[in-house]
Chains A and B, each alone.
Chain A
Amino acid sequence: MKILVCISKTPDTTAKISFNGDQTFNAAGVQFIMNPYDEWYALVKALEIQEANGGTVTLINVGGADNETIIRKGLAIGAENAVRINTEPASAMSTAFQIASYAKSQGFDLIFTGKETIDFNAAEVGAMVAEYLDMPYVSFANEMKLNGNTAIIGREIEGGTETVEVDLPIVISAAKGLAEQRIPNMRGIMMAKSKPLEVMDPAPFQDNVTTKQFELPTAKSAVKMVDPENMDELVRLLHEEAKVI
Chain B
Amino acid sequence: MSVLVFAESHDNTFKKPALESVFFGKKTAEKLGTQCVALVLGNAENPGQLGKYGADKVIHLSDASLANFDSQVYSSVIAQVAQATGSNVVVLAHSSNGKALTGRLAVKMNAACVSGVNALPETNGGFTISKSVYSGKATVHYALNAENKIISIMGNSLSPQIIGNDCPVESVAVNIPAAKVKVVNVDRVVGQVPLPEAEKVVSGGRGLKGPENWGIVEELAQVLGATTACSRPVADADWRPHHEHVGQTGIAIRPNLYIAIGISGAIQHLAGVNNSKVIVVINKDPEAPFFKGADYGVCGDLFEVVPKLTEALKKFKAQH
Known: A130-B104, A209-B142, A244-B200. A160 touches B243 (CB 8 A): yes
A235 on interface, CB distance cutoff 8 Å: yes
Chain A nearest CB, measured from B274 CB (Å): 9
Contact A215 B139 (CB under 8 A): yes
Chain B nearest CB, measured from A151 CB (Å): 10
Stretch from B25-33, B37-45, B184-192 forming part of the interface with A = B184-192
A1 on interface, CB distance cutoff 8 Å: no
Report how far A134 CA is from B73 CA in the complex, Å: 11
Report how far A187 CA is from B215 CA in the complex, Å: 48
One of A126, A224, A227, A235 near B309 (C-beta < 8 A): A235
Chain A residues lying within 8 Å of B133, measured Cβ to Cβ, are: 119-121, 214
One of B99, B112, B299 near A127 (C-beta < 8 A): B99
Chain B residues lying within 8 Å of A221, measured Cβ to Cβ, are: 295
* A202-228 residues at the B interface, CB under 8 angstroms: 208-217, 220-221, 223-228
Contact A127 B296 (CB under 8 A): no
B102 on interface, CB distance cutoff 8 Å: yes
> How many pairs of A and B residues are in contact by the CB < 8 Å rule?
263
Contact A139 B144 (CB under 8 A): no
Residue on A with the closest CB to B128?
A: A212
Residue on B with the closest CB to A121?
A: B116
A164 on interface, CB distance cutoff 8 Å: yes
Chain A nearest CB, measured from B147 CB (Å): 9
Contact B99 A140 (CB under 8 A): yes
* B57-89 residues at the A interface, CB under 8 angstroms: 69-72, 75
Chain B residues lying within 8 Å of A189, measured Cβ to Cβ, are: none
Known: A124-B115, A217-B139. A160 touches B297 (CB 8 A): no
One of B70, B104, B292, B313 near A131 (C-beta < 8 A): B104
* A138-192 residues at the B interface, CB under 8 angstroms: 138-140, 142, 152, 155-167, 176-177
B49 on interface, CB distance cutoff 8 Å: no
Contact B139 A212 (CB under 8 A): no
Chain A nearest CB, measured from B15 CB (Å): 8
Contact B316 A163 (CB under 8 A): no
Stretch from A12-20, A53-61, A81-89 forming part of the interface with B = A12-20
B157 on interface, CB distance cutoff 8 Å: no
A231 on interface, CB distance cutoff 8 Å: yes
B304 on interface, CB distance cutoff 8 Å: yes
Contact bitstring B142-179, A, C-beta under 8 A = 1, else 0 = 11111000000000000000000000000000000000
Chain A residues lying within 8 Å of B294, measured Cβ to Cβ, are: 223
Contact B103 A127 (CB under 8 A): yes
One of A125, A156, A234, A245 near B243 (C-beta < 8 A): A156
A195 on interface, CB distance cutoff 8 Å: no
Chain B residues lying within 8 Å of A109, measured Cβ to Cβ, are: none
Most chain A CB neighbours (cut-off 10 Å) among B110, B194, B313: B313
B273 on interface, CB distance cutoff 8 Å: no
Contact B142 A210 (CB under 8 A): yes
One of A128, A139, A231 near B312 (C-beta < 8 A): A231
A232 on interface, CB distance cutoff 8 Å: yes
Chain A residues lying within 8 Å of B34, measured Cβ to Cβ, are: none
Chain B residues lying within 8 Å of A93, measured Cβ to Cβ, are: 103, 106-107, 113
A237 on interface, CB distance cutoff 8 Å: yes
Chain B residues lying within 8 Å of A216, measured Cβ to Cβ, are: 137-138
Chain A residues lying within 8 Å of B72, measured Cβ to Cβ, are: 130, 134, 136-137
Contact B113 A136 (CB under 8 A): no
Chain A residues lying within 8 Å of B256, measured Cβ to Cβ, are: 244
Report how far A162 CA is from B185 CA in the complex, Å: 6
Contact A13 B267 (CB under 8 A): yes
Known: A139-B99, A158-B188. A211 touches B141 (CB 8 A): yes
B217 on interface, CB distance cutoff 8 Å: no
A28 on interface, CB distance cutoff 8 Å: no
One of B115, B139, B141, B267 near A122 (C-beta < 8 A): B115
Chain B nearest CB, measured from A230 CB (Å): 9
| Across the A-B interface, the 6 shortest Cβ-Cβ residue pairs | A228-B300, A127-B103, A159-B194, A160-B188, A158-B194, A124-B103
Given A211-B142, A244-B200, 14 more contacts at CB 8 Å? A11-B134, A17-B138, A36-B249, A37-B249, A92-B113, A121-B116, A121-B133, A125-B103, A127-B103, A158-B95, A164-B182, A214-B140, A234-B296, A242-B278
Q: Which residues of B contact A (CB under 8 A)?
A: 69-72, 75, 95-97, 99-104, 106-108, 110-116, 128, 130, 133-146, 180-189, 192, 194-197, 200, 224, 242-243, 245, 248-250, 252, 256-257, 267-268, 271, 277-278, 280-281, 291-301, 304-305, 308-309, 311-313, 315-316, 320
Q: Which residues of A contact B (CB under 8 A)?
A: 11, 13-15, 17, 19, 36-37, 92-93, 96, 116, 118-128, 130-132, 134, 136-140, 142, 152, 155-167, 176-177, 208-217, 220-221, 223-229, 231-232, 234-235, 237-239, 242, 244-245
A-B contact pairs, 29 of them (CB 8 A): A13-B268, A17-B134, A17-B138, A93-B113, A118-B271, A119-B135, A122-B114, A124-B103, A126-B103, A128-B106, A130-B71, A140-B100, A158-B95, A158-B96, A160-B186, A164-B182, A165-B181, A166-B182, A176-B242, A209-B144, A211-B141, A215-B139, A215-B141, A221-B295, A224-B297, A232-B316, A234-B312, A235-B309, A245-B257
